[in-house]
Structure 1
Amino acid sequence: MAQVLNIKLIAKVASRISFIVSGALLITVGIAFLFNENAGPFVITSLFSIAVGLIMYFLSRNLGKNEVITRKEAFLSVTVAWFYISLTGSLPFIISGAIPSFINAFFESASGFTTTGSSILTNIESLPKSILFWRSLTHWIGGIGIVVLFIVVMPSLQEGGYHLFTLESSFQDKIQPKIKSVGQRLLYIYVTLTAAETVFLLAGGMNLFESVCHAFGTVATGGFSPKNTSIGGYSPYIQYVVMLFMLLGGMNFVIHYYLVKREFKKIKANEEIRFFLLVVFGLGFIITLSLFFKAGKPIEESFRESFFQVISIVTCTGYATADYLLWPQFAWLIIFFAMFLGGSTGSTAGGIKMARHLLFFKNIRRFFRESAYPRAVIPLKLNGNVIKESTNQNIQSFLFTYLAVFAIGSAVLALTGLDGATAASSAATAMAGIGPGIGTVGPAANFAHLTGIAKLTMTFLMILGRLEIYTVLILFTPNFWKE
């Protein structure tokens, strides 16, 4: 019987990932020396990652040049990769003693690489600068990893119909023969956004270390901050800068690509970006009015607080400038439901994604039009392209699966002793990669008080949500392991 999976191809992917992680750890070694801190935890972890990379390299060294990775191998490689880097990323926390518990360290590391931003740390500022830098760097690595995965890798595996149904076919055609060059351009855009935000934050009086860490967390829509108060202790100028770059991080990176290429007509024709901005500004204005009229806050403060929190939640970043649980109940309930929105497809944001919601509303509109005109054939379109019914069904199935996993995750967390609000929001924030929730895990709290089972459940939900659910769940089906 033919081999189900090409282990050498998977080993090749694992070796490259190991070398990338070791390189990131060596950068952190430099940060440790810069601040006269113990570099040992990063050196040890880097050597471990290099050793794993070399082992995987030798396992795959006889791989034929013409062997191409299949969908099965891609799904397994991606899932294993995110678990592996989360486990490896936890080692500096454990070895340094910053987070001695394995479960807590694994939770923090997975939260970083999945760009979730949920934390078990109770006094962030007490940790060494090198540990805080590594914590923020995990965001940045995870962010560019997910962008390259769903914009460059998946289309080459003919998975574009499901994962990237918002992209124009012309863009996918360009990607397939030029995977390396497009990946390099996306990395260039990612680095440029990070550098630009760092400069703007420096201009606002933030020091270089904090500027870089916050830029890592913003562009990657991650949310880890080296400060206990997140962004709340900074000036309004800083908050507006972070707000702007969270919005940019939550946009489809294809939009940034088109902007660099000066293809403005394609940006204008993109329905998802218009829907994304409409939702953000709509919710922001509603909460602004609520804070102004019901909470009695000044208009500028109401505007800044509401839009910062809305953008942070919708883009799944998780930074905070206010405790929204202290807002009128109507306002923080909107924040809870916003946890199910997500940013744009092909962005660093998590969640269900705006294009799926847009397509859902288009389905509702088509249903009513077909009810009024039974003989009419009404095609479903997005960005001017007709959506195949098979793709449409996949999207609707994804929405159902997402909500089903959310319900199961909430139930499991509730069984660990959490109240209903905390359990539900913990599941929602983990799956969408947001960070804070409601109940006892709000923006002014953390996840330290959760049981070990609850933390492991959330860690699994983080990776599951980050990889679009099906990528992970398919590994648990019997057919996946058959020829």
Structure 2
Amino acid sequence: MSQVLHFRLIAKVISRISFIIAVALLISAGVAVIYKEAVLPFVYSLLLSVLLGVGLDFVSRRTEKKAIIQRKDAFFSVTLSWFYVSLLGSLPFIFSGAIPSFVNAFFESVSGFTTTGSSILTDIESLPKSALFWRSLTHWIGGIGIIVLFIIVMPSLHEGGYHLFTLESSVQEKIHPKIRSVVQRLFFIYLLLTGLETILLLAGGMNLFESVCHSFGTIATGGFSPKNTSIGGYSPYIQYVVMIFMFLSGTNFVIHYNLLKRDFTKIAKNEELKFYIAVTAIIGVVITLLLVFNTEKSVEESFRESFFQVISMITCTGFATEDYLLWPKIAWMIIFFSMFLGGCSGSTAGGIKMVRHLLVFKNIRLFFNESAHPQAVFRMKLNGNAINETTNKTILSYFSTYFLVFIVGSILLVTAGLDAGSAASSAATAMAGIGPGIGTVGPASNFAHLTDAAKLILTFLMVLGRLEIYTVLVLFTRNFWKD
């Protein structure tokens, strides 16, 4: 008799994740030693992670060597993995006493691994440096995708692992037919971008600890900063560096790969990249002009603050240089709507993604063309390739599902004690993985004042948004559990 899910395979996946987290905790313990801080919170967390990994590995040993993870297993494994790593990630906060409340520690951990960047911390700089490093490291791990990382050390999944890869990172275009090769190349690019930004931040006078933490947060498009003022207290040079790397991190990593290969033809043909650049430029210029003519800011300051916040919102990073709620009302309203944009597919950015917005515009244009020329036959294309009807319907239905979840999430947050504006903003920023929102959860505030119920709702929305909704919601359908 067959079964719906292959639990031994799933246990194998989770065990590998446990060992990856153990390595990350070991690195953080090293940071605690360097700064002469308490090491035991990381040691306890590490031991628990290893014990769970060994236990799960023992359970999975009867798995057939040729067993391949199927699509249902992938859906379940991916969703379970994000909640599992978040539980492990909350342990150092709890054991160290940095965040003694389980709900708060879990919220911070989920926010880290999903690269959301929302925080319950009211005084970030009061935490030990090792805890702040761990907090930023959760971003970095979540950015490349812990699901992608374990594929590197888990060749036994074979091509079945591609299900996990596409579900987590939205990469639909293969660079190489072998998935392991794809992941290795993307991981190299991820490391390269992290290293380059760290060097440039050091060159701007930022110390090594803060350079590494901010690079983790930037490349992962997460937004956790070890400073209470985020990027606001740093020089214009550092703000420009962070701005550039946020934009690069919101770009499809296939573009970076083609750039390294000097395959400029493919880059030039990529319509999503052109759309991403155009949308960012238009919104940035509009807000720059609003600041120039409605505030006392200089042109350069208006340009820098405008484009920094626009790129931060569109890429769902969440870094801030100032409180945009103090800008003219129309400016921060545009910022709010930017929360629904998202970066490119195949990037570390969250949100709806630029390619989906682009295809909506293509559908609108197709509708007008067909209305004007009812006898003509039009075919919608992306990057020169025809988009079939099934794919197109899936894209359009995603918008409906996304906004339906957003509305339901907002209503639930209102019932949990938030005002309507803060509820809508919190739901939007959690689903898109941005961090700060509007109202009482704006860039000058945080999520500490929310009720535990509201925080738990938001943690679910963070994971839901990070995994692009369907991956999680499919688990709640009756057909999923049918053999």
**Post-superposition offset of 1:161:** 11
Equivalent AA in structure 1 for residue 359 of structure 2: L
**Post-superposition offset of 1:261:** 1.7
The 5 Å alignment of 1:3-82 reads 3-82=3-82
**Post-superposition offset of 1:192:** 0.6
Question: Residue 415 of structure 1 aligns with which residue?
Answer: 415
Deviations 1:128-187 (A, max 9, x none): 0000000000000000117948x99888339969985863xxx36x23xx2112211111
- Secondary structure (helix, strand or coil) at the match of 1:61 reads helix
Give, in whole Å, the separation in 2 of the partners of 1:337 and 1:442: 14
- Secondary structure (helix, strand or coil) at the match of 1:422 reads helix
The alignment status of 1:183 with 2:189, answered yes or no, reads no
- Count of residue pairs the alignment pairs up: 477
**Post-superposition offset of 1:435:** 0.2
Equivalent AA in structure 2 for residue 417 of structure 1: G
The alignment status of 1:270 with 2:270, answered yes or no, reads yes
Give, in whole Å, the separation in 1 of the partners of 2:76 and 2:247: 31
Query: For residues 161 and 4 of structure 1, do their structure 2 counterparts lie closer, same or farther at Cα, with a shift above 3 Å needed?
Result: closer
Give, in whole Å, the separation in 1 of the partners of 2:165 and 2:21: 26
Question: Residue 451 of structure 1 aligns with which residue?
Answer: 451
The 5 Å alignment of 1:232-311 reads 232-311=232-311
Question: Residue 352 of structure 1 aligns with which residue?
Answer: 352
Structure 2, unmatched stretches of 5+, are 153-158
The alignment status of 1:194 with 2:194, answered yes or no, reads yes
The alignment status of 1:396 with 2:392, answered yes or no, reads no
Query: For residues 159 and 80 of structure 1, do their structure 2 counterparts lie closer, same or farther at Cα, with a shift above 3 Å needed?
Result: closer
Aligned partners of 1:118 and 1:446 also within 8 Å = yes
Give, in whole Å, the separation in 2 of the partners of 1:468 and 1:431: 9
Equivalent AA in structure 1 for residue 27 of structure 2: I
Query: For residues 7 and 147 of structure 1, do their structure 2 counterparts lie closer, same or farther at Cα, with a shift above 3 Å needed?
Result: closer
Give, in whole Å, the separation in 2 of the partners of 1:291 and 1:257: 37
Question: Residue 463 of structure 1 aligns with which residue?
Answer: 463
**Post-superposition offset of 1:478:** 1.1
Give, in whole Å, the separation in 2 of the partners of 1:166 and 1:62: 33
Equivalent AA in structure 1 for residue 329 of structure 2: Q
**Post-superposition offset of 1:438:** 0.4
Give, in whole Å, the separation in 2 of the partners of 1:206 and 1:162: 33
Tell me the percent identity.
Answer: 67
Pairing partner for 1:156 from 153, 159, 162 = 162
Give, in whole Å, the separation in 2 of the partners of 1:232 and 1:157: 40
Of 258-267 and 76-85, the range deviating more from structure 2? 258-267
Question: Residue 112 of structure 1 aligns with which residue?
Answer: 112
Q: TM-score, normalised by structure 2?
A: 0.96
**Post-superposition offset of 1:377:** 1.6
Deviations 1:16-39 (A, max 9, x none): 101000000000010000000001
Question: Residue 386 of structure 1 aligns with which residue?
Answer: 386
Give, in whole Å, the separation in 2 of the partners of 1:118 and 1:426: 9
Give, in whole Å, the separation in 2 of the partners of 1:162 and 1:51: 26
Equivalent AA in structure 2 for residue 342 of structure 1: G
Give, in whole Å, the separation in 1 of the partners of 2:270 and 2:118: 32
**RMSD after superposition:** 1.9
Give, in whole Å, the separation in 1 of the partners of 2:160 and 2:204: 39
- Secondary structure (helix, strand or coil) at the match of 2:341 reads coil
**Post-superposition offset of 1:406:** 0.2
Deviations 1:61-95 (A, max 9, x none): 12222111001000100000000000110011011
Aligned partners of 1:162 and 1:391 also within 8 Å = no
Give, in whole Å, the separation in 2 of the partners of 1:162 and 1:362: 26
Give, in whole Å, the separation in 1 of the partners of 2:321 and 2:441: 15
**Post-superposition offset of 1:417:** 1.9
Query: For residues 147 and 290 of structure 1, do their structure 2 counterparts lie closer, same or farther at Cα, with a shift above 3 Å needed?
Result: farther
Deviations 1:428-477 (A, max 9, x none): 00000000000011000000000000000000000000001000000011
- Secondary structure (helix, strand or coil) at the match of 2:61 reads coil
Query: For residues 262 and 50 of structure 1, do their structure 2 counterparts lie closer, same or farther at Cα, with a shift above 3 Å needed?
Result: same
**Post-superposition offset of 1:420:** 1.2
Query: For residues 314 and 296 of structure 1, do their structure 2 counterparts lie closer, same or farther at Cα, with a shift above 3 Å needed?
Result: same
- Secondary structure (helix, strand or coil) at the match of 2:62 reads coil
Equivalent AA in structure 2 for residue 253 of structure 1: F
Question: Residue 102 of structure 1 aligns with which residue?
Answer: 102
Query: For residues 85 and 304 of structure 1, do their structure 2 counterparts lie closer, same or farther at Cα, with a shift above 3 Å needed?
Result: same
Query: For residues 81 and 157 of structure 1, do their structure 2 counterparts lie closer, same or farther at Cα, with a shift above 3 Å needed?
Result: closer
Question: Residue 206 of structure 2 aligns with which residue?
Answer: 206
Query: For residues 39 and 160 of structure 1, do their structure 2 counterparts lie closer, same or farther at Cα, with a shift above 3 Å needed?
Result: closer
Aligned partners of 1:146 and 1:348 also within 8 Å = no
Structure 1, unmatched stretches of 5+, are none
Query: For residues 241 and 132 of structure 1, do their structure 2 counterparts lie closer, same or farther at Cα, with a shift above 3 Å needed?
Result: same
Give, in whole Å, the separation in 1 of the partners of 2:251 and 2:438: 25
Question: Residue 156 of structure 2 aligns with which residue?
Answer: none
Query: For residues 162 and 199 of structure 1, do their structure 2 counterparts lie closer, same or farther at Cα, with a shift above 3 Å needed?
Result: closer
Of 310-319 and 289-298, the range deviating more from structure 2? 289-298
The alignment status of 1:312 with 2:312, answered yes or no, reads yes
Give, in whole Å, the separation in 1 of the partners of 2:460 and 2:171: 26
Query: For residues 162 and 230 of structure 1, do their structure 2 counterparts lie closer, same or farther at Cα, with a shift above 3 Å needed?
Result: closer
Query: For residues 339 and 154 of structure 1, do their structure 2 counterparts lie closer, same or farther at Cα, with a shift above 3 Å needed?
Result: farther
Aligned partners of 2:316 and 2:343 also within 8 Å = yes
Give, in whole Å, the separation in 1 of the partners of 2:164 and 2:463: 23
Give, in whole Å, the separation in 2 of the partners of 1:166 and 1:90: 32
Aligned partners of 2:145 and 2:169 also within 8 Å = no
- Secondary structure (helix, strand or coil) at the match of 2:26 reads helix
Question: Residue 436 of structure 2 aligns with which residue?
Answer: 436
Deviations 1:383-412 (A, max 9, x none): 111111001000111110000000000011
Query: For residues 446 and 161 of structure 1, do their structure 2 counterparts lie closer, same or farther at Cα, with a shift above 3 Å needed?
Result: closer
Give, in whole Å, the separation in 2 of the partners of 1:162 and 1:89: 19
- Secondary structure (helix, strand or coil) at the match of 1:255 reads helix
Query: For residues 248 and 163 of structure 1, do their structure 2 counterparts lie closer, same or farther at Cα, with a shift above 3 Å needed?
Result: closer
